[in-house]
Amino acid sequence: MAKDESAQRMEKIVSLCKRRGFIFQSSEIYGGINGFWDYGPLGVELKRNLKDFWWRRNVRERDDMAGMDGAIIMNRAVWKASGHEETFSDPMADCRICKARHRADQLPEKDGVKFCPNCGSRDLTPPRAFNLMFKSYAGPVESDDNLVYLRPETAQAMFVQFRNILDTTRQKLPFGIAQIGKAFRNEINPRNYIFRSREFEQMEIEYFCRPEDGLRLTDYWLEERLRFYDDIGIPRSKIHVKDIPDGDRAFYSKKTYDLEYEFPFGISELEGIAYRTDYDLSKHIEHSGKPLDYYDEVTKERFVPHVVEPSAGADRTALALLCEAFDEEVVTDDKGKSETRTVMRFHPRMAPIKCGIFPLLKNKPALIEAARGIVQSLRGHMNVFYDESGAIGRRYRRQDEAGTPFCVTVDFDTIGENGPEKEGTVTLRHRDSMQQERLAISDLKAYLLDKTM
């Protein structure tokens, strides 16, 4: 895809997200705040469906996984032990001409000299370390003793609670701890919509194992995660698996895979799968003095477990779902008139609204009563949307832009006004093909649940 075409596609996606209520700029009426976003009515449903399916697949459908929900603010000692307080930083450089601030390692170069992407100046300050953690204070006094940080990752909570979870669940190696939660990084240059922001949500697993199993399990989780993306509508053909070479990995990692997606703005990281060895648990044992080792009752060994970490961004995955779903096609009606149809082709299990329910006319009480009855029968099982406003074709188009995979129209056949042959049936319209079929109301719930779960 050409660069201009890709940029236009991204602009259309961002425009649709605001117009249809997926994503809004945070604090927009006050000019917004860079790096922070709010999810609207459709966006929150999309993200909820993503997180719920991730939790179902990785926790509820497995015997070897336990969930937790750690606090956003932890004891400062956690971040000293993990090395974040001292080393969690990016190199920052300022342009002396236009005053723009950039990550020094992402500046463009020409003839071996870096320059400002805003104004083209080469007059840049020397790179300096900028700690990415947001600072705050716990308690009424703003002193160094009360200094805390908003967590920059969810992983450390799972490491420091390893002993409690091991004791309460009585799990045997290998087993994992899973968590979905907010993290915060004071990014120098938030960019690419919700891809890189200052407040974001992670879906993370720490999978503990024997040292000799670490590399094998890293490959196992690579396959599991690729299968997950396939099952939510992001095909493997769009994901690039990058095996991070020696020297480019974090110093504690023996193996790291990056899963990268073809976003309109370029191929960028969606998830990392890192074999972190025993680094984190060993550091917390060293700094806390508490036992975080494991006793194998079969081999009678005591050792510090190693860990494999599949870490995905909920916001980045939501963005990938939006980019993958967005489509425009030219359709021609029965009269030969052509128009561009914008449609979000979400996988049905990810779609914010599973089914739109329409009475054919809004001034026919029997149609409205039947449609409302269908709504009540489906609510509690899935998210549905009732709409009686405008021509039926316009209602279909609104649901196409919302990504709704199925629409149900209650018409005169439904209530038996055209004879008993089709009484108790509705018109079911498919989003992607726009084909329609008759379906009995009594079969509707089972049909939709089968298609959207």
- 251 or 373: which leads in pLDDT: 373
Per-residue pLDDT band at 225 (split at 50, 70, 90): very high
- Listed residue (92, 78, 181) closest to 132, CA to CA: 92
pTM of structure: 0.92
Q: What is the mean pLDDT of residues 416-429?
A: 90
The average confidence (pLDDT) of the chain is 94
Q: What is the pLDDT of residues 342-372, one digit of tens each?
A: 999 999 999 999 999 999 999 999 999 999 9
Per-residue pLDDT band at 86 (split at 50, 70, 90): confident
Long-range contacts of 406-409, Cβ-Cβ distance < 8 Å, separation of 24 or more: 406/348, 406/354, 406/355, 406/356, 406/430, 406/431, 406/448, 406/451, 407/355, 407/356, 407/357, 407/358, 407/431, 408/355, 408/356, 408/357, 408/358, 408/371, 408/374, 408/444, 409/358, 409/359, 409/360
Q: Is the pLDDT of residue 2 over 70?
A: no
412, 418, 422, 428: CA torsion to nearest 10: -30
Q: What is the mean pLDDT of residues 251-277?
A: 95
Residue 452 half-sphere exposure, CB side, CA atoms within 13 Å? 25
- Listed residue (255, 249, 250, 246) closest to 273, CA to CA: 255
Tokens 């009424």 map to which residue? Answer: 140
Strand partners, 179: 204
What amino acid occupies position 2?
A
Locate 110 and state its tokens: 């020409």
Q: What is the pLDDT of residues 23-47, one digit of tens each?
A: 999 999 999 999 999 999 999 999 9
CA distances from 61 to 48, 54, 64, 66, 366 (A): 18, 10, 9, 11, 44
Give, for 410, the enclosing helix (H) or strand (E): strand 406-410
- Listed residue (278, 136, 151, 140) closest to 202, CA to CA: 151
Give, for 342, the enclosing helix (H) or strand (E): strand 338-344
- Listed residue (338, 324, 343) closest to 433, CA to CA: 343
CB contact set of 296 (below 8 Å; sequence gap of 6+)? 173, 210, 302, 303
Q: Is the pLDDT of residue 3 over 80?
A: no
Q: Is the pLDDT of residue 1 over 70?
A: no
Q: In the chain, what are the domains?
A: 3-86+137-322 (3.30.930.10), 89-131 (no CATH), 353-452 (3.40.50.800)
Q: Is the pLDDT of residue 333 over 80?
A: no
pLDDT above 70 covers what percent of the chain? 99
